[in-house]
Amino acid sequence: MAGPHLQQPSFLLATLKADCVNKPFVQKCHDLETVIEELPAKELHGIFPWLVESIFGSLDGIIIGWNLLCLQGRTNPTEYSVALDFLDPSGPMMKLVYKLQAEEYRYDFPVSYLPGPVKASIQEQVLPECSLYHNKVQFPSSGGLGLNLALNPFEYYMFYFAISLIMQKNTSVTHHVSPSNSAYFILVDTYLKCFLPTEGSVLPPPYLNPGGAIPSPTPRSPAVPFTSYGMHHTSLLKRHIAHQPSVNADPASQEIWRSETLLQIFVEMWLHHYSLEMYQKMQSPHVKESFKPTEEHVLVVRLLVKHLHAFSNSLKPEPLSPSAHSHTASPLEDFKRVVIPRFVQQKLYIFLQHCFGHWPLDASFRAVLEMWLSYLQPWRYAPEKPLQSTEPLPHSVSEKWATFIQENLLMYTKLFVGFLNRALRTDLVSPKNAFMVFRVAKVFAQPNLAEMILKGEQLFLQPELVIPHRQHRLFMTPTFGGAFFASWPPTTADASLKVKTHVHSLEGQDFQYKQMFGTEVRNLVLKLAQLICQAQQTAKSISDHSAETMASQSFFSWFRFTPSEMNGSYTGNDLDEIGQDSIKKTDEYLEKALEYLCQIFKLNGAQLTQMMKNCGTAQDKNGKNQLPDCIESEDGLILTPLGRYQIINGLRRFEVQYQGDTELQPIRSYENATLVRLLFRLSSVLNARFADQMDVLCSREDFVGRLCRYHLTKPHLIQKIRCSPMVKDRTSQNWGPRISLRFLASYRTLTFLLMIYFIASWFYIGPVGCTFIILIGYFLYATIMTFFSERWKPHEH
């Protein structure tokens, strides 16, 4: 929304609103480009807030806008191309921004839509530490509603662009849409390359007025403290916003003000949704931070992280003499030195911590994982250099990254422990979960990385040094960034001080550090190794069971007339539907992950071998898993939390089988209900009529007796029923020889019979002949199965 000093909607605004509804997208953008080119800033000033809102959507979600998150070139190539051209850094929209920027217009942005910690801080009249908000807060006038930020056109545009990623998360983003191919993703990449270039300098704004310059917002004055506004009068605050110093007060800032503003807005809108512990005391205890990032959101943050590494690594080599630094380094080069430690590190760490602790335990965590791993590997985004022969290993992490690792120690160690805790609660039989464990283990197993992390831990655990009060702010200023210290060979004391400063600035002075290579974490790694071994055995069991099932399937199993179908037992998990290829991938990922974990933590090979043997002995003689973990009580077995976990993840299961009369089972989905009932009545009549005759036939010891015993009895089921304490009448004729016709009610059986009759009719064979052929085939099959059956023994009465 625009400030209260704006004029009422003009005729131009009404016309554009009507065109927005009635004209096609391409024509609408063309007309807007013409209006921006021809009209002066005074007339364009009134339509700017509406235009921004119509593109990125309204803050309340009523207006969706162009829905850039779903706009893709494959589905809407024309609109996709036109939108990217219109919003390009050199396109019509940015020309409008610079046109209004030259006139120093201001637009109001509601504080209520800022991230939770920032909103709570401003509402309690505490000035946020980020300079983006300084001299911009406006208290409402008499009768006004809420606090606002007075933003210049560039800030206003970028605020809406950044927050649209958050506000549009509930719109119709379908699963088949790839976020990396959306117009929004491409625009983020374009803006980053334009305003945070890895080569050259930031392109100047388009030339507008002869002899004029695009004004930049004034940098935060050092005199402005990071304290509460206190009891300052509202009018005094407004004077701070309205009467800013001259825009040319700091000529050096003219080069990078857009770069710094863009980065601050992206970081604040995308990462600053969770409070640091040191600031929680300043916020209301009633404020609830319920923000939940989406997968698209995390992918965009990963793009930001990757570009910032490339931007920071493009820093020119430092001059040999430190005195020459202040004379040769440009503001952009100085900005590259501090872009990560000053603007990104703290908020990204809290954001990742929240994701590790609250993200669902499913495969969508892969987006968070890859973003974290991208941050941990800045060397992947460094300019390519020829490999030197002095390198011990071609892919080892160079020692020049030791400073970065030490200044980001918690990113490596504490978040690794957080990942271990997640991995111990996931189903590693799933190929996607197994792959995530493999990815993390592979990254941390890079040669020399574990050694540098261990060295960083040793520096932190050195005896405490006397650190002057608020000394850690020295390392967070632009002049003394982390990269600046890397230009001189630091002593051990200096390196230890920097690591302690990093840890205490993120977690506070009372933080109890858990060593990544300590005993506690090592035990977690051993538990993960044991879980990996169990998952490998489970995948192997599933694979063997699938192979046995395929090998043992007979011709008539196509009718679904098999014991596994009729007793209702569960014999597998999701991998039964995934297939053998996925099981093979799971085994490969887990095997490599275990190998990498051994390299990182120097695990004992003999210990792992014994662990795998123990996992192997968890299988019984038939290759089935043991029962889930239970405790005995008066009411029988009760599952423990471990037992519930084992059942949910398919690691173990109860052998649940139907032990009653198979003819009385519930009607299955693959059976015809009417036929099941009719065939049951028919078989009941036949069994009652010929029970004695069938019993005599099954008692014979010749071929006829064996044939009848194979097809008319089920000795294994009879034995279970007779031995069961739940069955009172063990002598009932229901457990003797009988005819079962239920398999004829299967839809597959019916389909097969219809197919046979159709083929028979094609060869002019009548129904009687078809029936004769089927009976002959079944008789041959039954004869062969009789000779190989274990049911040849005489039936016990």
Q: Specify burial of residue 767 (Cβ count, 10 A radius: 0-12, 13-18, 19+).
A: exposed
Whether the predicted model's global pTM rises above the 0.95 cut: no
The helix/strand/coil state of 109 is strand
Closest CA to 528 of 440, 637, 469, 398: 440
- Predicted pLDDT at 376: 97
Give the torsion sign (CA, 588, 590, 591, 592): positive
In whole angstroms, how far apart are CA 329 and each of 200, 326, 334, 378?
13, 6, 7, 22
Cross-strand bridge partners of residue 625: 619
- Which token pair is 503? 């840890």
State the DSSP H helix or E strand holding residue 50, giving kind and residue range, or none if neither. Answer: helix 48-56
Q: Distance (Å, rounded) from C-alpha 397 to C-alpha 472?
A: 28
Query: Could you tell me if 451 and 385 are in contact, meaning their C-beta atoms sit under 8 angstroms apart?
Result: no
CB 198 within 8 A of CB 309: no
| Residue 128, phi-psi category: left (phi > 0), alpha (psi -120 to 50), beta (remainder) | beta
Q: How many other CB atoms are there within 10 angstroms of residue 610's CB atom? A: 11
The full 3-state SS of 103-163, as one line of letters, equals CCCCEEEEHHHCCHHHHHHHHCCECCCCHHHCCCEECCCCCCCCCEEEECHHHHHHHHHHH
Contact 259, 195 (CB under 8 A): yes
Q: Which residue has the tokens 């019984």?
A: 620
pLDDT at 26: 93
Q: CA separation (Å) from 178 to 183, 295, 361? A: 11, 11, 22
pLDDT of amino acid 438: 97
Exposed, middle or buried: residue 255 (CB in 10 Å: 0-12, 13-18, 19+)? middle
- Cite the beta strand spans of 569-618 per DSSP E: none
Q: What is the rounded distance in angstroms from the CA atom of residue 591 to the CA atom of residue 305?
A: 30
pLDDT in tens, 157-167: 999 999 999 98
Tell me 341's DSSP state.
I
Rounded Cα distance between 720 and 340, Å, is: 69
Angle at 213 between CA 207 and CA 215, to 5 degrees: 125
- Closest by CA to 165, choosing from 1, 293, 306, 344, is 293
Residue 137: strand, helix, or coil: strand
What gap in Å lies between CA 234 and CA 231, rounded to an integer?
9
Q: Which long-range contacts (CB under 8 A, 24 or more apart) does 684-691 make?
A: 686/739, 687/733, 687/738, 687/739, 690/739, 691/733, 691/736, 691/737, 691/738
Rounded to 5 degrees, what angle do the CA atoms 164, 170, 171 make? 80
Instruction: Note the pLDDT tens digit of each residue in 227-286.
Output: 333 333 333 333 333 333 333 445 455 678 999 999 999 999 999 988 765 434 433 444
Measured between alpha carbons, how far is 242 from 116 in angstroms, rounded to an integer?
26
Domain positions in the chain are: 106-151, 397-465+491-548+579-616, 671-726+735-743, 746-796
3-state secondary structure of 738: coil
Amino acid 573: pLDDT = 44
Distance CA 18, CA 210 (A): 35
Strand 630-633 to strand 148-151: parallel, antiparallel, or no bridges (unpaired)? unpaired
Ordered mean pLDDT values, 10 residues apiece, the chain (797 residues): 46 86 91 92 92 93 90 93 96 95 92 90 86 85 73 96 82 60 95 93 67 51 34 34 38 76 96 67 48 92 97 80 57 92 94 92 94 96 61 71 94 96 90 95 96 94 59 40 42 83 86 91 92 84 63 48 43 48 85 93 78 58 59 81 71 69 78 87 86 83 78 57 48 61 78 75 71 70 59 43
Q: What is the pLDDT of residue 755?
A: 78
Q: Which two tokens stand for residue 68?
A: 């850039």
- For 674, residues 6+ apart whose C-beta sits below 8 A from its C-beta are none
Residues 789 and 713 sit within 8 Å (Cβ to Cβ): no
